A = this chain, B = another copy of it.
């Protein structure tokens, strides 16, 4: 009945592994091995997660020889997280005091 695009969209982001990948890629593109190493992820775990993110167009793949470099499509992620930041700050700032989210521009 309801369009399941929303479900797919949210489900893809509702997980620490993928959020950590997004966080890491916000600093620059990486190939699968680099990313696996940095996050201590099994190779296939990284692959599966990256595929899911790519399917929803949250990340972009670029082949370079045997390697595949993944980079963040910031046009969707940044605005979304911005809205959430505002919402969370409005209601949860008293018990969620984490700072230094890299992609969040402090003004």
Contacts and interface: CB of A to CB of B under 8 A. Distances in A.
Contacts of A19: 2, 6-7
Interface string A1-43: 1111111011101111001100100000000000000000000
Given A5-B92, A19-B2, A98-B3, A87 B10 contact: no
Given A11-B15, A57-B91, 20 more contacts: A1-B23, A2-B23, A3-B98, A3-B101, A4-B16, A5-B88, A6-B81, A6-B84, A7-B14, A7-B19, A10-B10, A10-B13, A10-B15, A13-B14, A57-B90, A76-B83, A80-B80, A80-B83, A80-B84, A83-B83
Nearest to A75: B87
A4 B14 CA distance: 10
Interface of A: 1-7, 9-11, 13-16, 19-20, 23, 57, 76, 79-81, 83-84, 87-88, 90-92, 96, 98, 101
Contacts of A7: 14-16, 19
